[in-house]
Amino acid sequence: MLAYNTLPIGVVGGMRRENVVVTVVVFGIVFISGVSVSLSAFAGNDEYIIVDGNGKGDYSSIQDAINHAQEGDTILVKSGEYREVLIINKRVTIVGEDMDRTRINPTSIRNGFAIEIRASGVILKNLNITNRGNGKYAQAVKIVSPDVKVIGCMIHDVPVGISIWSSNNTIEGCKFWNCKDEGVVLMGTKYTNCDNNNIVKCYFYNNGDGVELQYADGNVIMDCIMKDNLHSGVDILDFHSEDNLIVNCSITGNTYGIMYMSDSDVLVNCTVSDNIDGNIVTNDVFGFSAKGGIKSIKGNFVKMLVERILMRFGLQVVSSFLDAITR
């Protein structure tokens, strides 16, 4: 039996000085839209720290609020555009006033990030996040600590939406689009784990991959929509990613539906159809096999894999060479 925790998209705590209405808009057929929650209804013992770029809060900079916050504090960010790179190094909750209009939009260093989370227990909610920095692997959010939650956020127009380098994190109710490499990448290594992460009720469209896994075990992708992504809905890139579950997902209209290498990865109750070059591609130890009415052939798959590996090292190869090695 699969056990998992779902996290309500809401606002907790009390707020200092004024009442504000947070509008939560969640996208996709599995989501609720147009839910409005009054912060005053959740009054508690802890006060909010207010960030307002117009100078009407406790701080005008989100990073200043983080630097002065105590462990466990909640930071409410008023609507506006915040062009600052954020480093979150303590356990805080950051809540946007409005998911559409609370925009974190910095220009990072090459292949940098808009937000890096270095502390466990951090929560991000109701934020619109992108990164205008250069580089094929510039990121909106980089998570290097465990037990982080990203809930109800819009992440877009960046090569990598969220990169996760740790375990036991939850991404829920988020929308990803125009992430040229992938919406979410679970990035373990031979020496570091990226396990037991949950990606729940998210919507991925017009990205490179919806979700990519490397050296990542025991993760759950549940109740998600992957539609019209330029490469694959889910790409389990290597033999080392095992025991991952893909449950109750709709994966349609991508170039490939699901690509996975390990026989221990499990697909349960998903709709995988109408993907251009194949619905499900698997690996049988040394040769490639196909399931689910896939139309692609071994040569096309190997060619794509070679291209992706070369791209990661910034290399190019002429098409005639690719044709020769993949016949």
In the chain, count of helices (H) and strands (E)?
Answer: 3, 31
The backbone torsions φ and ψ at residue 49, rounded to the nearest 5 degrees and listed phi first, read -100, 125
Contact 193, 165 (CB under 8 A): no
pLDDT above 70 (res 168) = yes
- pLDDT score at 53: 96
Q: Which fold has domain 21-296?
A: Pectate Lyase C-like (2.160.20)
Name which residue leads in pLDDT, 177 or 39. Answer: 177
Structure tokens at 130: 């992108």
SS3 for 108?
A: coil
Name which residue leads in pLDDT, 227 or 23. Answer: 227
Per-residue DSSP letters for 125-169?
Answer: ES-EE-----STT-EEEEE-SSS-EEES-EEESSSEEEEE-SSS-
pLDDT above 90 (res 23) = no
Domain boundaries along the sequence of the chain: 21-296, 298-327
pLDDT above 60 (res 105) = yes
Q: How confident is the model at residue 283 (pLDDT cuts 50, 70, 90)?
A: low
Name which residue leads in pLDDT, 1 or 276. Answer: 276
Query: From CA 216, how far away is CA 198, in angstroms rounded?
Result: 12
Q: How confident is the model at residue 153 (pLDDT cuts 50, 70, 90)?
A: very high
- Dihedral, CA of residue 310, residue 312, residue 314 and residue 316, to nearest 10: 20
Mean pLDDT of 268-282: 92
pLDDT above 80 (res 162) = yes
Tell the burial category of 208 from Cβ atoms under 10 Å away from its Cβ (0-12, 13-18, 19+). Answer: buried
Q: How confident is the model at residue 318 (pLDDT cuts 50, 70, 90)?
A: very low
Mean pLDDT of 212-221: 95
Q: How confident is the model at residue 146 (pLDDT cuts 50, 70, 90)?
A: very high
pLDDT above 80 (res 177) = yes
Mean pLDDT of 212-223: 96
Q: What is the mean pLDDT of the chain?
A: 80
Which among 163, 179, 160, 182 is positioned nearest to 171, based on CA atoms? Answer: 163
Mean pLDDT of 118-140: 97
